[in-house]
Amino acid sequence: MVGVMVRSLIRSDRDKNRMLRYSVTGPGADQPPNGIFIINPISGQLSVTKPLDREHISNFHVTHAVDLNGNQVENPIDIVINVIDQNDNRPEFTHTIFNGSVPEGSKPGSFVMTVTAVDKDDPKTANGMLRYKILSQNPQSPSSNMFTINNKTGDIITVAAGLDREKVTQYTLIIQATDMEGNPTYGLSNTATTVIRITDVNDNPPEFTTDTFFGEVHENRVNVIVANLTVTDKDQPHTPAWSAVYRIIDGDSTGRFSIPTDPTTNEGLLTVVKPVDFELTRSFMLTVEAVNEVPLARGIHLPRQSTATVSVRILDINESPEFSPNPKPIKLEEGLPAGSLLTTFTAQDPDRFMRQTVRYSKMYDPANWLEIDPVNGRISTIAILDRESPYVKNNLYNVTFMASDNGIPPASGTGTLQMYLLDINDNAPHVFPPEVEMCEKPDPNAVNITASDPDLTPNAGPFAFELANRPSDVRRNWTLSRVNGHSLASGIYEVPIMITDSGNLPMSNTSYLKVKVCQCDHHGDCVDMARIIAAGLGIILLFICLHLMEKKSPLLFHL
């Protein structure tokens, strides 16, 4: 306050017979903030010249001095001036709007949040002592007093039951803070807004929108949605308390269906995950249950509406005929003549209730050996079977047939006949190699030959070799023993050799061995093949030593 006198009059006990002068120095006097305090130099009366603000400066330290004609009479003394608080500040909330939350269904006495206000006045006096109270609640449902506040601490708690997020999602409270310990007459007040959000708990189970759902699907289809199952859930959307999980609890013992959840709509998508056969099962009656991703709140139980029935009808389609077994193996000898019946290869039509006709045809027969009866599936030969054919691999020959029904649209399936051909002695041996070279001099004069036969053991070697009877001069000019003193002239010779295999009912063949006799160098290599070829055939005695070997028997020729 301005002009208020300091309570104590500060005078020296030496001013009774002297004219002393008083002065003050320090902050608030002759130092910033200057001029707040002044002293009457004659009477020593200390006065305030400007308003004081305790919240700005709560006390001042000044020095009091006494002098006589400029000379110090006494030692200076320190004076502490305390500014006494007045209730000149309203409470201020730390936030204009406070935000809090509490789970729905909370019991009375549950802590919600704390609001805080401050007052610049002296907290040790009533001026700075605050009290809180709730002025209003919106909405006033289900009660106008759902909350209470601790008037000293500002803690807000629930005071009534009935918080239900599905009915009221949030409450707005107007909170008042008053100083002077809440005195409505003398205290200063202020208000703030508190928004209390009611958080969701899983107190609402999912409920199907109908007792029975219907769907249909064609047989043999997989990953197809059969029906969309819809539920309602009053909990907060897209939370674990809202998201539904579907389970099949009866009617699907073989696990042919599953129910994933559409994350956007929360619908259950009944889906076929294993093929269904119309001929075995024409319908399914499923019992399904819907629950949430998190358990229900304590005391909440699944109602009857959380279970539903799904009726699924299976639709028939025209299925392909099926050969059985597939592939079908058979074992038979090669050499069967055309027109021979091999086997019957038929297919079954899974569509037992359609009464369809199946017809057969040939799809793949690279050697064109077989035919199939289009009506009864009988397979016959139209050519001689040959195990040595290039189309036969490891004694196996595969033919593919097709079975087609007369459905709309038609359906077809394929089957493979796997023929294992047994060898017979149907190939005569041949000399190998068909052409050899010999030197015309007696030494060296040996070559080795053998025989080849595409048949298998025991229809191949060991082979028997002998000279043919014709032409008539063969045995005269060629022999199996050496005659000393003879040599071969250079030339090309064809020696007929009859070879017989070891088969049951042996087969024989006369092969011509071409022998090139030439002059040789010291390495035994021919050096005049051009002259030999030009000379043609000459006649001279050939001495042959024959060695028999199994399968491919080498034949040793000597001059």
pLDDT digits (tens, 9 = 90+) for 430-473: 877 877 766 666 554 556 667 787 878 888 777 776 767 777 66
Indicate whether 485 pLDDT > 60.
Answer: no
Report the share of the chain in percent with pLDDT over 70: 81
Nearest 5°: CA angle at 555, between 549 and 557?
A: 155
Residue 267, SS3? coil
Choice between 443 and 39, residue whose per-residue pLDDT is larger:
39
Indicate whether 172 pLDDT > 90.
Answer: yes
Tokens for 367?
A: 């050697």
Nearest Cα neighbor of 283 from 257, 315, 321 is: 315
* Together in a domain, 445 and 551: yes
* Together in a domain, 248 and 270: yes
* Together in a domain, 329 and 254: no
List b or e across 362-399, with b for residues whose CB sees 16 or more CB atoms inside 10 angstroms.
Answer: beebeeebbbbeeeebbbbbebebbbebeebeeeebeb
Indicate whether 428 pLDDT > 90.
Answer: no
Per-residue pLDDT, averaged over 201-225, amounts to 95
Q: How many other β-carbons are positioned within 10 Å of the β-carbon of residue 514? A: 14
* Together in a domain, 446 and 545: yes
Domain ranges, residue 255: 207-315
Q: Is the whole model's pTM more than 0.85, yes or no?
A: no
Tokens for 392?
A: 């036969």
Q: What is the pLDDT of residue 546?
A: 34
Mean pLDDT of the chain: 83
Rounded Cα gap, residues 168 and 113, in angstroms: 18
Query: Any idea what the CATH number is for the domain that residue 368 is in?
Result: 2.60.40.60
Q: How confident is the model at residue 76 (pLDDT cuts 50, 70, 90)?
A: confident
Report the share of the chain in percent with pLDDT over 90: 50
Indicate whether 390 pLDDT > 70.
Answer: yes
* Together in a domain, 437 and 547: yes
Rounded Cα gap, residues 424 and 61, in angstroms: 135
| Amino acid identity for residue 213 in this structure | F
Kindly list the distances between the CA atom of residue 519 and the CA atoms of 524, 535, 539, in Å, as whole numbers in the listed order: 9, 13, 16
Q: 7 in a domain, yes or no?
A: no
* Together in a domain, 230 and 285: yes
Nearest Cα neighbor of 89 from 131, 58, 48, 122 is: 122
Residues, the chain: 559
Q: 308 in a domain, yes or no?
A: yes
Q: What is the pLDDT of residue 257?
A: 97
Q: Are 531 and 540 in contact (CB under 8 A)?
A: no
* Together in a domain, 190 and 243: no
Q: What is the pLDDT of residue 49?
A: 83
Choice between 8 and 434, residue whose per-residue pLDDT is larger:
434
| Amino acid identity for residue 296 in this structure | L
Residue after which a domain boundary falls, among 36, 58, 82: 82
| Per-residue pLDDT tens digits for 363-384 | 999 999 999 999 999 999 999 9
| Amino acid identity for residue 544 in this structure | I
Choice between 477 and 248, residue whose per-residue pLDDT is larger:
248
Q: 305 in a domain, yes or no?
A: yes
* Together in a domain, 543 and 437: yes
* Together in a domain, 391 and 286: no
| Per-residue pLDDT tens digits for 287-316 | 999 999 999 998 888 899 999 999 999 998
Residue after which a domain boundary falls, among 402, 422, 442: 422
Q: How confident is the model at residue 539 (pLDDT cuts 50, 70, 90)?
A: very low
Tell me the three-class secondary structure of 215-228, residue by residue.
EEEECCCCCEEEEE
Q: 16 in a domain, yes or no?
A: no
Residue after which a domain boundary falls, among 422, 450, 482: 422
Nearest Cα neighbor of 164 from 198, 137, 196 is: 198
Q: What is the pLDDT of residue 482?
A: 31
Q: Which residues are registered as beta bridge partners of 213?
A: 310
Q: How confident is the model at residue 66 (pLDDT cuts 50, 70, 90)?
A: low
* Together in a domain, 264 and 358: no
Rounded Cα gap, residues 481 and 115, in angstroms: 130
Indicate whether 487 pLDDT > 60.
Answer: no
Rounded Cα gap, residues 403 and 349, in angstroms: 9
Q: Are 246 and 230 in contact (CB under 8 A)?
A: no
Instruction: Write the DSSP string, 166-220.
Output: TT-SEEEEEEEEESGGG-TTT--EEEEEEEEEEE--S-S--EESSSEEEEEEETT
DSSP-derived secondary structure letter, 460: S
Rounded Cα gap, residues 543 and 559, in angstroms: 5
Report the C-alpha dihedral over residues 122, 125, 126, 130, rounded to 10 degrees. Answer: 50
Per-residue pLDDT, averaged over 251-265, amounts to 96
Number of domains the chain contains: 5
Nearest Cα neighbor of 12 from 48, 61, 65, 63 is: 65
Q: 502 in a domain, yes or no?
A: yes
* Together in a domain, 128 and 232: no
Q: 6 in a domain, yes or no?
A: no
Outline where 195-342 has alpha helix (H).
Answer: none
* Together in a domain, 445 and 552: yes
| Per-residue pLDDT tens digits for 316-359 | 888 889 999 999 999 999 889 999 999 999 999 888 777 788 99
Q: 4 in a domain, yes or no?
A: no
Q: 385 in a domain, yes or no?
A: yes
